[in-house]
């Protein structure tokens, strides 16, 4: 006759197993909290420009156009790059670009100048607005403006 002896040893004590499970649960909760916090911070940022004023005027001298634009940063992060431009009759893009001025939330950015561009009075033209933050978020806007003369 064969007898079996039952060992009464356990691999891990119940107290150690409980502590290990609690530690794993706490670590998981901390990881989930950190991920949710990062998403909330990212979602809370907005990148946006509002066009305060834009005008395009055909000048009497040759193929010259006067372009003026004023933008307001209505987002929650500063813009480190700003571009505003228009496409003329030949679909040539003329623009102001600025990567040296930081436009903080609530501040305005204005540029005006003359371009060698072919435009027609009372015709609509597409104005392109681009803003970029130091984190790389980009805002794009296309708006039409009617040329004056």
Tell me the three state secondary structure of residue 149: coil
Q: Report the share of the chain in percent with pLDDT over 90.
A: 51
The whole-chain average pLDDT of the chain stands at: 87
pTM (two decimals): 0.68
Q: Is the pLDDT of residue 117 over 80?
A: yes
Q: In whole angstroms, how far apart are CA 1 and each of 5, 6, 10?
A: 13, 16, 27
Tell me the three state secondary structure of residue 32: helix
Confidence category of residue 3, pLDDT binned at 50, 70, 90: low
Q: What is the pLDDT of residue 87?
A: 93
Q: What is the pLDDT of residue 41?
A: 64
Chain center to CA of 75: 9
Confidence category of residue 132, pLDDT binned at 50, 70, 90: very high
**How many Å apart are CA 132 and CA 91, to the nearest integer?**
24
Confidence category of residue 106, pLDDT binned at 50, 70, 90: very high
Q: Is the pLDDT of residue 69 over 90?
A: yes
């Amino acid at each position: 006759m064969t007898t079996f002896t039952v060992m009464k040893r356990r691999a891990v004590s119940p107290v150690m197993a409980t502590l290990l499970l609690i530690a794993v649960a706490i670590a998981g909760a901390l990881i989930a909290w950190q991920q949710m916090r990062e998403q909330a911070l990212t979602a809370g940022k907005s990148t946006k420009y509002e066009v305060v004023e834009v005008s395009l005027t055909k000048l009497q001298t040759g193929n010259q156009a006067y372009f003026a634009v004023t933008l307001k940063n209505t987002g929650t992060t500063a813009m480190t790059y700003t571009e505003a431009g228009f496409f003329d009759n030949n679909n040539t893009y003329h623009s102001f670009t600025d990567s040296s001025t930081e436009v903080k939330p609530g501040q305005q950015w204005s540029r005006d100048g003359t371009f060698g561009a072919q435009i027609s009075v009372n015709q609509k033209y597409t104005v392109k607005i681009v803003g970029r933050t130091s984190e790389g978020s980009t805002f794009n806007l296309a708006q039409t403006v009617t040329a004056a003369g």
